[in-house]
Amino acid sequence: MNVHKAKAFGAEAPDADLKELSINRREVTPHDVEIEILYCGICHSDLHAVHNDWGATTYPIVPGHEIVGRITKIGESVTKFQVGDLAGVGCIVDSCRECEYCHNGDEQFCEKGWTVVFNSFDRKYGAITYGGFSENIVVDENYVVRVPENLDLPSAAPILCAGITVYSPLKHWKAGAGKNVGIIGIGGLGHMAIKISKAMGAYVTVYTTSQAKADDARRLGADNVVLSTDAEQMKTCPKQDMILDTVSAKHNLNTYIDLLKVDGSLVMVGLPAEPLEIGAGNVVHGRKSFSGSNIGGIAETQEVLDFCAKHNITADIELIEINEVNNAFERLEKGDVKYRFVIDMTSLKKR
Ligand code: NAP
Ligand code: ZN
C-alpha cells in the first residue's frame, strides 16, 4: 500500500499530553477521497479513548471524529464528490457492506464490526486508523457525507458526532409534537439534543447538575430546566415519554426511570466506563424500558446535517488552535466548556 506522511496530534500513553506526531495516510485508492481537514470537534469519547477508560486503546492514538474539510484529491472511480467539495467524516469509515444492518443503513451495528475513524484495526488496509486531529484524512467516498454550504463550518463539525448521536434516538423514539422529552446533561451531546428535540416539536425538559447552565438551557430552547441535585425540583417536574441520558460519568439511573410515564424509555447515549445499576422494581412498575443508542449510520448522518441546515442548527462552540488542545481536554474533563471545543486544524499545518 502506498502511503504519505501527514502531521497529526495524538497521545502515546493514557496520561501523556497530546503532541505532534507524523502518521501514515494511504494514497487514495479508486473509491477514496482525500480531505484537507479544516475543523475537528472534541467529543468526550476522544477523552475516554485517550485515557483508555474503555480499556481498548492502542497507542499512539490520534483522536477526532467530528471532521469537516475540503476534498483535495479523488480516486479514479469516485462519483459522489469532486475536488473542492465540502465534506464531513464522523465515526464510521468502513463496514462489511453485506450484512442486514449495513444494508439497512445501520453501519454502526455491522455484524462483522465497523471500522472506527481512529484507534481501529482497518482489516482492508492492515493498519490502525488515525482520526481527525490531523492535516488530512483519506476515506472511502461511501463513508463521507456532504456538508451543506449554508452551515457555519466550525460550528457544524459537532453535528458529525454529537448531532447524529442524539438525532438518531430522538427520531427512533419518536420525539415530536405532543411528546415530553427529557435530556440529562448539558454538554456537547446534551446541548445539541435540546436544539434538535425542540426543532422536532417536543416539550423539552433538561436535567443538569450545573446551576450555572440553567439560564443557558432556556436560551438553547429548553421549555423547562431542573437542577437534578434539588430533590424538590425532581419531584415536581413533568413526567417524560422519553429521557435521553448524555452523562459521561457514573450516576443514579433509577432517579430518572422514576420520572418516566408508563411505557416511557430511558435511553443511554453517555458511555461511563463503570457498570450502572437498575432496580427491577423501577422498570417493572410502569412497564418502563432502559435502552441505548450508538451514533447513527451514514445515510442518517447526512439526514441530520440536512435537518440542521433546514432548521439553522449548529453547535455553540469555543474555537481553539491545536496548541490549546491539552488545556481543552482538561477543561472538558471538568465539564468546563460551552458547549463544544472545535479545533481550527489549519493551525496544525502552520506549526
Ligand atoms: P460532555 O460535553 O463532557 O457532557 C457531559 C455532561 O454530562 C456534562 O456537561 C454534565 O452536564 C454531565 N455530567 C458529567 N459528569 C457528571 C456526573 N458525574 N453526574 C451527572 N452529570 C454529569 O460530553 P459529551 O461529549 O457530550 O459526551 C457525553 C457522553 O456520551 C460521553 O460518555 C461520550 O463518550 C458519550 N458518547 C456516546 C456516543 C454514542 O454513540 N452513544 C457518541 C458520542 C459520545 P451538566 O453540567 O449539565 O450536569
Ligand atoms: Zn463523539
Tens-digit pLDDT profile for residues 139-171: 999 999 999 999 999 999 999 999 999 999 999
Q: What is the pLDDT of residue 351?
A: 85
Q: What is the pLDDT of residue 11?
A: 98
Domains (ranges, CATH) in the chain?
Answer: 3-160+296-349 (3.90.180.10), 162-292 (3.40.50.720)
Q: What is the pLDDT of residue 1?
A: 83
CA of 163 to the centre of ligand 2 (A): 9
Flag residues of the chain having pLDDT under 70: none
Q: What is the pLDDT of residue 259?
A: 98
Among 119, 228, 247, name the best residue to mutate to test ligand 1's pocket (greatest count of ligand atoms within 8 A of Cβ).
247
Q: What is the pLDDT of residue 343?
A: 98
Distances (CA, A) of 85 to 71, 74, 315: 5, 11, 22
Q: What is the pLDDT of residue 7?
A: 98
β-pairing verdict for 180-184 and 289-292: unpaired
Q: What is the pLDDT of residue 117?
A: 98
How many Cβ atoms from other residues are within 10 Å of residue 335's Cβ? 16
Residues lining ligand 1, CB < 6 A?
43-45, 48, 161, 165, 185-190, 208-210, 213, 246-249, 251, 269-271, 294-295, 332, 335
CA of 47 to the centre of ligand 1 (A): 11
61-115 residue pLDDT tens: 999 999 999 999 999 999 999 999 999 999 999 999 999 999 999 999 999 999 9
Distance CA 115, CA 74 (A): 21
Q: What is the pLDDT of residue 123?
A: 87
Q: CB of 190 within 8 A of CB of 205?
A: no
